[in-house]
Amino acid sequence: MSVPTPVAKLNFEDAMKELDAIVSRLEKGEAALEESITLYERGAALKERCETLLKTAEARIERIRQGADGKPAGVVPLDGG
């Protein structure tokens, strides 16, 4: 069995893919109790990683602010008005 990539090194897409696989496996009851606990713990860490990466991405999203003449006048944070 290969050693899984540390959660902190996963990008959003890979973390989400692994999280989906864990959820599917747990829902199907394919793992013994101890393995289920390990999977659940990994899944919780993956969920937290995805949330962190999403928050980081949201903070970077900006929208174009228009001046009085209708031309672009700069950018502001998406939720900054």
Q: Which residues contact 22 (CB under 8 A, 6 or more apart)?
A: 39, 40, 42, 43, 46
- Asked if residue 22 belongs to a domain, the reply is yes
Q: Pull the structure tokens for residue 42.
A: 């990994």
List the pLDDT tens digit at each of the 81 positions of the chain: 578 899 999 999 999 999 999 999 999 998 999 999 999 999 999 999 999 999 888 777 766 666 777 777 777 766 655
Write out the residue range of the structural domain in which residue 30 sits.
Answer: 7-77
Q: Which residues contact 43 (CB under 8 A, 6 or more apart)?
A: 19, 22, 23, 26
- Asked if residue 21 belongs to a domain, the reply is yes
Domain count, the chain: 1
Per-residue confidence (pLDDT) for residue 23, from 0 to 100: 97
Per-residue confidence (pLDDT) for residue 58, from 0 to 100: 79
Phi, psi torsion values for 69, nearest 5 degrees: -85, 0
Per-residue confidence (pLDDT) for residue 54, from 0 to 100: 93
Per-residue confidence (pLDDT) for residue 64, from 0 to 100: 64
Per-residue confidence (pLDDT) for residue 1, from 0 to 100: 59
- Asked if residue 12 belongs to a domain, the reply is yes
- Give the predicted TM-score (pTM) of the model: 0.74
- Asked if residue 2 belongs to a domain, the reply is no
Q: Are 19 and 43 in contact (CB under 8 A)?
A: yes
- Asked if residue 54 belongs to a domain, the reply is yes
